Amino acid sequence: MRFWATIAAIIILDLFSKIRIMDLLNPGDSIPLIHNLFSLTFVMNRGAAFGVLQGKSWLFLIMAVLIVCIMIYVHLTYEVPAWVQYAMGLIVGGTIGNLIDRWSYGAVRDFFSIGWFPVFNVADMAIVIGGGLLILYLFLNDPDRKQIW
């Protein structure tokens, strides 16, 4: 249940935030919120997370579907600890959120801008946090465990 609820929550938050930003801004527009530190800047990102690999949408579609399928397979097949379920749910939810954009617009709607850092969205944050939690789990995991991770 944790896995599926996390996926649903991230997709809802991501899509709601993207719809709301489109109501507020046109692509390229920006609203400063914290002087020279944080702003809402609406861009259509044709690359991967944080703007890397611009123009490779077909590659991201394939990778996204593969990631989602692997994570769902792992969840359904193996005993996965609770916080790994949350981590995987964050990754899958974020991946699906950006996949919906890529399929619908040929690009991902990004809007959080922090100083010099590339513009990103809720889905990107979920993917990075979920990935970080999985890496942390791998480092902290007891090797004698009888679980997949």
Task: Give dist(CA 34, CA 147) in Å, integer.
Answer: 45
Q: Residues 14, 29, 101, 110: which is the catalytic one?
A: 110
pLDDT band at 54 (very low <50, low <70, confident <90, very high): low
Mean pLDDT of 49-68: 74
On average, the pLDDT of the chain sits at 88
Annotation marks residue 101 as catalytic: no
| Cα radius of gyration (the chain) | 16
* Residue 110 a catalytic site member: yes
Among 14, 23, 124, 142, the one annotated catalytic: 124
CA-to-CA dists, residue 103 to 2, 5, 60, angstroms? 27, 23, 10
More confident residue, 58 or 42: 42
